[in-house]
Amino acid sequence: MARPQRILTILGTRPEAIKLFPLLHALQRDPRFESILCSSGQHAELLAPVLELAGLVPDHNCAVMRHGQSLDALVASLIPALGAVMDIRRPDKIAVQGDTATAFAGALAAHHRLIEVVHVEAGLRSGNRAHPFPEEIYRKAISAMADLHCAPTPRAAQALARENVEPASVHVTGNTGIDALLWVGELVARRPELASDLAGMEQRFSGRKLVAVTAHRRENAGEGIANICTAVRRLAARDDIALIIPLHANPGLREIVAAQLGGCANVVLTDPLDYPHFARLLGMAHFVLTDSGGVQEEAPTLGKPLLVVRETTERPEGVEAGTARLIGTDPDRIVEEATRLLDDADAHAAMAHAHNPYGDGKAAGRIVELLARQPA
């Protein structure tokens, strides 16, 4: 009997953990694989609760983050740290997700060792290398090094084809983030105490329409965030809504948003929410206002209209399907679009009931079968 394939999965941020734990669960259950987990520690404090929730303990932790670390310094520390883990464990393949510094450095370290690279959520493109920054370049570079491209949608697969990626290496699997969201929804249904901290807020604003707001992108820093806050203040003048804003962990960004919106009536600023609470907030929301990437997939899965406060998006499928609208950061436009969703029931229903293009919750299983068909 052939030995199990040794798969080293590398992650370092909360979004990576969310989108990779379904794959890690599937690999652990399958005797055809030996699953090894490495955390780079890129976002250690935000990462740990997701791994604990999913019942995962890293086999290796590189702990690369330093206070005030530049992107140069981060990547420079990631490559040898992740490479050292590969030298110890000698995996047949490594799996990375998305477009983080950890994913880029992991793919490059594997390439230096001629280890096959599996790219989960491959093929996302905004077409603008500065939006999102630096992720657009990271994910394009990973595509140049990957051997197996797990594209979440047909459009993502088409983007890879335009870049002359070998067609046989590209497979549409759906998005593992949908697997994770459905998993945590079922978990909270069985164990409601995991998301019980929102009960007081839900009771406080009973009868009002809740709007979930997230804003943290680098390209929105400065004027973009200020414009979003201006729009939120104007919307908060209504007495029939409440806007809930989980603050980003970045201290500078937290201070800016708190200075603009702290004490504003009908606006609640919270600490970063863990995954069960954030999923619960999305479920409670009338609609979502965001510059996040993953939220663009999660909100449509729950039937929540989405206003994307960015100039470009690497997830145009939601816009094309009608679940999302790309509206930029002009305050007047934000207020106009939000007001339409608050006051026009037909407009809200059209977005809420639009087709979700991001998958059916079975992406991890498809990826595992692809791995099994391509043994070491």
Residue positions annotated with a catalytic role: 99, 121, 135, 216, 218, 248
Gap between the Cα atoms of 38 and 14, Å rounded: 14
Whole-angstrom distance, CA of residue 108 vs CA of residue 10: 12
Distances (CA, A) of 251 to 8, 135, 254, 311: 33, 21, 5, 24
What is the number of alpha carbons within 13 Å of residue 373 lying toward its C-beta? 10
| Beta strand segments in the chain, E | 5-11, 33-39, 60-61, 93-97, 116-120, 148-151, 170-172, 209-214, 241-246, 267-270, 287-290, 306-308, 324-326
Of 359, 375, 373, 372, nearest in space to 183 by CA: 359
At residue 129, φ and ψ (nearest 5 deg) are -70, -10
Dihedral sign from CA coordinates of 188, 309, 343, 206: positive
The conformation of residue 59, written as its DSSP 8-state character, comes to S
3-state class of 270 per DSSP? Answer: strand
Helix (H, G, I), strand (E, B) or coil at 96: strand
Q: Within 4-91, where are the H helices?
A: 14-29, 44-54, 71-89
